[in-house]
């Protein structure tokens, strides 16, 4: 049975994890390799690194980080943030990442989705959608949620699939940071229309939220950041709760 | 020594690092002339048609067939497994390496494609490549095409995703996995170790 995936998301700035865990057993909480190894041991099914570096040499720093992470862990990981071209995608994949997440660039140049899928396969192309409720529909936002677009999030999800996305990472801006639970109506509206895996993001506060997103919104994977980083919830414990509710999960001893 | 076939732009880094972590020496081959002996590994990222085109142009197709027939152990990973078969629906009209009979097909049915994530495999007993792997162990898949299981002797393990497909191949010195062992945590590393220790 295909397991539902649990995915921690790590923000990185200039090759350093920010807002990362600060567990007693970590020598350096900002070290992406240490963080990745920790989550690997905890049973994370996958990792997402979101690069928020703003400096000019960001690409070289990111590539170096991807190489180090790829050498240290043996579970898949996705890299996103500032990816604009097929060459960007190639560099990151060749450094050992498994998937590339594109967001603003996909909205600006939707051809990038198909170009990436053609060059590397759909399974390497994740389209990240930041969505926010606008009176009667969800609107797509770009640039880290700072810029509203004209796009309807559900329609955009469909278009991304048609253009060759292998997976969608859907973040509810209304729920992000609230710990009130995932945006089930948004996620369900998308999972009912697309036939590619959907990762739920934004709003996780406790195990019940993850279970609800899987059982009521039909998502394939659940993602959280601060909840895991600040150790309010351990992946092991979350997976036990999911298993208890009859959700197939991969457990590690 | 394990020689890893580079057929144009695949992600070799993770495979090489996994072999390295297991203490195996590996080198990348971009042409058959570079081969200095040792086991062969075909990694897997990309499309069937492009990959076969490249393998033919470089002469790897004949080389790989000859090596396997001469008894050299070979491991195909993901697309590298699919290339061993006769043909694929991904590239109609294109022939594969034809080391195994059958056609690679697109997933049938209503489930989401790509088949992406951790799924369980059911090993058949007494397969060298699966030593230490238990029924129901999870491994990481990311693919849209598969080889449907039909009960052939080379089917060393199967997986269910709407249909039963071949997850692991073992036929004498020929081995292949549809998933990514280099991304499949301890179970995947065990399988790579089994190949190294053959």
Q: What is the pTM of this model?
A: 0.93
Average pLDDT, chain B: 95
Mean pLDDT of B178-191: 96
Distances in Å between the Cα of B51 and the Cα atoms of A94, A214, B58, B68 are 17, 37, 11, 18
Average pLDDT, chain A: 92
ipTM given for this complex: 0.90
Q: What's the pLDDT tens digit per position in A21-55?
A: 444 455 567 889 999 999 999 999 999 999 988 77
* Mutation for B interface: A43, A121, A197, most B CBs within 10 A: A121
Q: What's the pLDDT tens digit per position in A100-142?
A: 999 999 999 999 999 999 888 889 999 999 999 999 999 999 9
Q: What's the pLDDT tens digit per position in B44-71?
A: 877 899 899 999 999 999 999 999 999 9
- pLDDT at position A20 is 47
Instruction: Give the contacts of A202 (CB within 8 A, at least 6 positions apart).
Output: A171, A172, A173, A174, A175, A176, A177, A182, A183
Looking at the complex, report in whole angstroms how far the Cα of residue A250 sits from the nearest Cα belonging to chain B.
6
Looking up tokens 């073992």 gives B170
Q: Answer yes or no: do A3 and B118 touch at CB < 8 A.
A: yes
Q: Answer yes or no: do A195 and B138 touch at CB < 8 A.
A: no
Return phi, psi of residue A206, to 5°. -160, 165
Candidates 3.30.420.40, 3.40.47.10, 3.40.50.880, 3.60.15.10; correct CATH number of B2-196? 3.40.50.880
Domains in chain A, start-ordered, CATH in brackets?
Answer: 5-244 (3.20.20.70)
Q: Which residue of B has its CA nearest to A220?
A: B117
């Amino acid at each position: 049975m295909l397991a539902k995936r649990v995915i921690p998301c790590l923000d990185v700035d200039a090759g350093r994890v920010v807002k990362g865990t600060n567990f007693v057993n970590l020598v350096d909480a900002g070290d992406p390799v240490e963080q990745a190894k920790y989550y690997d041991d905890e049973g994370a099914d996958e990792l997402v690194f979101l690069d928020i570096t703003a400096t000019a040499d960001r690409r070289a720093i990111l590539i170096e980080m991807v190489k180090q992470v790829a050498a240290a862990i043996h579970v898949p990981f996705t890299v996103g943030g500032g990816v604009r071209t097929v060459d960007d995608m190639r560099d990151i994949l060749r450094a050992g990442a498994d998937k590339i997440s594109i967001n603003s660039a996909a909205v600006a140049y939707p051809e990038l989705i198909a170009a990436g899928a053609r060059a590397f396969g759909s399974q390497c192309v994740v389209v990240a959608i930041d969505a926010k409720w606008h009176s009667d529909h969800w609107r797509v936002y770009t640039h880290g949620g700072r810029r509203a677009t004209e796009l309807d999030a559900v329609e955009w999800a469909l278009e991304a699939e048609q253009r060759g996305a292998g997976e969608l990472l859907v973040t509810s801006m209304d729920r992000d940071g609230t710990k009130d639970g995932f945006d089930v109506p948004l996620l369900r509206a998308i999972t009912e229309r697309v036939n590619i895996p959907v990762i739920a993001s934004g709003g996780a506060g406790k195990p019940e939220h993850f279970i609800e997103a899987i059982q009521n919104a039909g998502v394939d994977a659940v993602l959280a950041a601060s909840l895991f980083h600040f150790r309010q919830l351990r992946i092991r414990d979350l997976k036990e709760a999911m298993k208890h509710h009859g959700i197939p999960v991969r457990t590690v001893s | 020594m394990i020689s890893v076939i580079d057929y144009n732009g695949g992600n070799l880094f993770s495979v090489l690092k996994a072999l390295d972590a297991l203490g195996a020496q590996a080198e990348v081959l971009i042409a058959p002339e570079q081969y200095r002996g040792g086991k062969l590994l075909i990694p897997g990222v990309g499309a069937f048609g492009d990959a076969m085109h490249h393998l033919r142009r470089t002469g790897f197709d004949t080389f790989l067939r000859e090596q396997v027939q001469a008894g050299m152990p070979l491991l195909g990973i993901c697309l590298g497994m699919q290339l061993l078969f006769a043909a694929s629906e991904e590239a109609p009209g294109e022939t594969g390496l034809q080391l195994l009979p059958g056609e690679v097909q697109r997933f049938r049915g209503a489930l989401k494609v790509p088949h992406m994530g951790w799924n369980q495999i059911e090993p058949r007993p007494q397969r060298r490549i699966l030593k230490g792997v238990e029924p129901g162990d999870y491994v990481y898949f990311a693919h849209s095409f598969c080889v449907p299981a039909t009960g052939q002797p080379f089917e060393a393990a199967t997986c269910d995703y709407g249909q039963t497909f071949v997850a692991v191949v073992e036929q004498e010195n020929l081995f292949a996995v549809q998933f990514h062992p280099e991304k499949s945590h301890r179970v995947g590393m065990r399988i790579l170790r089994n190949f190294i220790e053959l």
